[in-house]
Amino acid sequence: MAARALIHVPKTAKKGEVIELRAMISHRMETGQRQGVNGEAIPRDIINRLTCTYEGVEVFSAELFPAVSANPFVSFYTVAVQSGVIVFTWIDDAGAKQVATAEITVS
């Protein structure tokens, strides 16, 4: 799974500030409900999990089902506790992982 991932993490934040994180990845999120040109079923192929870690601690995760749109977008919040790395990991049905990272400076 080599897809284009877009993440939005503020570069700086004050300690204790609640910040919004946004993540989107290009993926067709094939539902498994559709049929191809010859009537054969197109197999399901979706991203089923997104996790977010902040300096190694998991602060958020989501389980995705086929009802999530293509190019899945998720936004959520976290508390800026310390400067460090925020890592987003997407996992698809085949078990392939895609990672995107961002650094945040907390003052």
Q: How far is the CB of 17 from another protein (least distance, A)?
A: 8
Q: How far is the CB of 23 from another protein (least distance, A)?
A: 10
Q: Are strands 97-106 and 12-13 parallel, antiparallel or unpaired?
A: parallel
**Which of helix, strand or coil describes residue 1?**
coil
Alpha-carbon gap, residue 1 to 25, rounded angstroms: 11
The two three-digit tokens of residue 97, written as one number: 């992982």
Q: How far is the CB of 95 from another protein (least distance, A)?
A: 19
Q: What are phi and psi of 101, to 5 degrees?
A: -125, 155
**1 or 62: CB nearest another protein:** 62
**60 or 93: CB nearest another protein:** 60
Question: Given the rule CB under 8 A, which residues bind another protein?
Answer: 18-19, 31, 33-34, 41, 54, 57, 59-70, 72-79, 81
